[in-house]
């Protein structure tokens, strides 16, 4: 049974220098309401791709239709210890619209957090992709894990959901697939706006210090470009 079956939803992204993320966070806390259920947390995403990096290339080639496959779990900011279960997710993007489907997976997050990405436990999760409409191809394999801190807010005026993602980095790679620089955050942070309003909260829009710019930013692609592209991949 799906825990979340998303209809198409409008999503916009805005980049800012990572050095300005604390300024942005202070403004969001002052002008918006923190999400009542999940105000903040550490997000862990293990991405799956094919040997020819099909899903990465969808983004690099500028395709309007993009698909990301990942296993996700959560923890507390400042701690590497995960909490709760994990989910298999398929995120489909068509222009600025996106939908996300997810299924709960059997392993506890602590098991996945402690297992190498080459461990069969990750391969076993591919079978769940079929239930989300993605053929469980034998060529799919976990490639690397992206982690970041996420702060969630709600705009009280238009009910848009706003998130600020900071400290974005690759924490580890699948040693059978690629090697790269891990543990080094990107020099960017990102504000995501989900909902019908589709625009930055005014409290951010007015502050020129943030140097915010609209972008089709992908954490998967950005981390690959920063840490993996010039390393050895198979």
Sorting pLDDT into bands at 50, 70 and 90, what band is 217? very high
Cα separation, 40 vs 152, in Å, equals: 6
Cα separation, 139 vs 53, in Å, equals: 10
Q: Domain boundaries in the chain?
A: 4-228
Cα separation, 73 vs 56, in Å, equals: 21
Name the DSSP letter for residue 153. Answer: E
Listed in sequence order, the residues at least 6 apart from 143 whose beta carbon sits closer than 8 Å to its beta carbon are 47, 48, 49, 53, 117, 173, 174, 177, 178
pLDDT digits (tens, 9 = 90+) for 4-61: 455 678 889 999 999 999 999 999 999 999 999 999 999 999 999 999 999 999 877 6
pLDDT digits (tens, 9 = 90+) for 58-116: 877 666 678 899 999 999 999 888 888 899 999 887 777 778 889 999 888 999 999 99
What is the per-residue pLDDT for 198? 73
Query: What is the homologous superfamily of the domain 4-228 according to CATH?
Result: Hypothetical Protein Pfu-838710-001 (2.40.320.10)
User: For the residues 206-222, what does the mean pLDDT come to?
Assistant: 94
Cα separation, 12 vs 217, in Å, equals: 9
């Amino acid at each position: 049974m799906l825990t979340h079956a998303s209809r198409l939803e409008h999503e916009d992204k805005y980049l800012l220098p990572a050095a300005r993320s604390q300024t942005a966070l202070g403004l969001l806390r002052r002008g918006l309401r923190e999400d009542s259920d999940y105000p903040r947390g550490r997000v862990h995403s293990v991405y799956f791709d094919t040997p020819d990096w099909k899903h990465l290339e969808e983004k690099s080639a500028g395709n309007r239709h993009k698909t990301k496959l990942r296993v996700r779990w959560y923890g507390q900011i400042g701690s590497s210890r995960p909490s709760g279960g994990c989910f298999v997710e398929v995120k489909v993007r068509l222009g600025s619209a996106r939908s996300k489907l997810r299924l709960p997976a059997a392993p506890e997050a602590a098991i996945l957090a402690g297992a190498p990405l080459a461990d069969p436990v990750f391969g076993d999760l591919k079978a769940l992709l079929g239930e989300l409409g993605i053929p469980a191809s034998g060529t799919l394999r976990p490639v690397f894990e992206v982690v970041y801190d996420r702060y969630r807010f709600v705009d009280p005026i238009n009910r848009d959901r706003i998130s600020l993602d900071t400290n974005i980095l690759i924490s580890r790679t699948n040693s059978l697939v690629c090697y790269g620089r891990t543990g080094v955050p990107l020099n960017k942070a990102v504000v995501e706006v989900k909902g019908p309003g589709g625009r930055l909260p005014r409290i951010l829009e007015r502050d020129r210090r943030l140097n915010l710019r609209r972008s089709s930013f992908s954490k998967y692609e950005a981390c690959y470009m920063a840490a993996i592209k010039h390393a050895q991949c198979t």
